[in-house]
Amino acid sequence: MPRFPITMPQLGESIAEATIREILVAPGETVKADQNLFEVETDKAVMEVTTPCGGVIAEITALVGTSYPVGSPIAVIEASEEDALKAGLIRPAEISAADGGEPSEANLHFAVSEQDLIDPSAPAAVQPTVEGGLPVPVRSSVYLSPRLRHRMEELGLNSADLAGLPGSGAGGRVTVEDFEKFIKALDQSRMTDASPMRIAVADSMRRSWTRPLASVTVPVALDAVLAHRRSVAAKPGISLYAMRALALALSENTAVAGRLIGTKIVHPHAIDIGFAVEADDGVLVPVIRQVDRKTLSELQGPYDGLIAFAKERRLPKDAMGGGIATITNVGPFGITAASPIPLPEQNLVLGLMAGRKMPVWDEEKGAFVPRMESKFILSFDHRILDGGAAGRLLQRIGQLLQEPGGL
């Protein structure tokens, strides 16, 4: 039977590589279509690479613990021409002119040309692999000479890594000599490898900070929410109430969640909201789609399920990326004030702080009464929103939370 390469697939938007964590089959093993072949780790989640069709695993070229770019050969499968044709591994033969048809272009996402077919008589060549992360492009307003930029790219560093390095050049510029002394000094320090998750979070926050960001704060009474929570069996968390209220508020004016592209504000197609989950030296942000069209009770199941998946770093693909805003609840850590940063592709992040009982003056009673209160902090792209608009959005969220039964 002919042999075909199995390559590292594109496992998600913006994912350029994945690290092999576990090999799930052995050479010579007969497999079915879509059977799990490898367990791999990206900077966002742990996922599986499956077989494109049924056949026999002729060879495993990937190594555990090694990172492979998208498109790199990682295994070889022997399959019948019929199975390979169905899977799109080979192109269908051209239909004769007598049939009056055209060659089908359906299901050719993984098709390979004849010259890419593996010769069974020749050993498979192991392609170069990537042991570290892909170099992060440098974005800085500080002048760096082309020579220094080239040296930094060789080491996979960016300008943010030099934030604490004083320069000895003209105008305080960092010279190549300053940089080399800095690198040499690092060798004398204790260092540990940052996890792929931590590197991904760092790069995301660095890209977010290229925009003018601002934050506003409004105290929100939670007594009505807590009373409603006690009255229902499911016991939804405060984050879920806030997510639903945010979605309804955004559906009333989608421009505030838009993106400024040139001179146009691009409105979102759907109110898809993410929520931050702490997981393994970092944070994952699973996304629930069309939150404005689901009631609180309808959101409860998907919300709880995604938290469990996120903690295991096994988020389904349809819950990754594409959100227009994020909820982050730092209250459980006792934090009463913070400055959350929106994701690079989003304009908004809503931070929920720890709840505190506060004395509030009641005009009818003529006395102070206790009220459970939390500070809600909205961070936003200042190019899209001003303080007034951001404050009105927060006030609207607070109003909706006073009637939790309507959520």
pLDDT band at 142 (very low <50, low <70, confident <90, very high): low
Write out pLDDT tens, residues 85-97: 887 777 665 333 3
pLDDT band at 128 (very low <50, low <70, confident <90, very high): very low
Give all domains of the chain, ordered by start, each with its CATH number: 3-116 (2.40.50.100), 146-191 (4.10.320), 211-406 (3.30.559.10)
pLDDT band at 114 (very low <50, low <70, confident <90, very high): low
Q: What is the pLDDT of residue 197?
A: 72
Q: What is the pLDDT of residue 180?
A: 86
Q: What is the pLDDT of residue 123?
A: 46
Over range 210-230, report the average pLDDT. Answer: 92
pLDDT band at 139 (very low <50, low <70, confident <90, very high): very low
Does the pLDDT at position 186 exceed 90?
no
Of 10 and 241, the structure prediction assigns the larger pLDDT to: 241
* Residue that is written with structure tokens 């056949």 in the block: 55
Over range 283-298, report the average pLDDT. Answer: 93
Mean pLDDT over each residue of the chain, to the nearest integer: 82
pTM over 0.75: no
pLDDT band at 127 (very low <50, low <70, confident <90, very high): very low
Distance CA 376, CA 350 (A): 7
Q: What is the pLDDT of residue 141?
A: 40
Q: What is the pLDDT of residue 312?
A: 85
> Distance between terminal CA atoms of the chain?
59
Write out pLDDT tens, residues 95-107: 333 444 444 444 4
Does the pLDDT at position 291 exceed 90?
yes
Write out pLDDT tens, residues 146-161: 888 888 888 888 777 7
Of 224 and 17, the structure prediction assigns the larger pLDDT to: 224
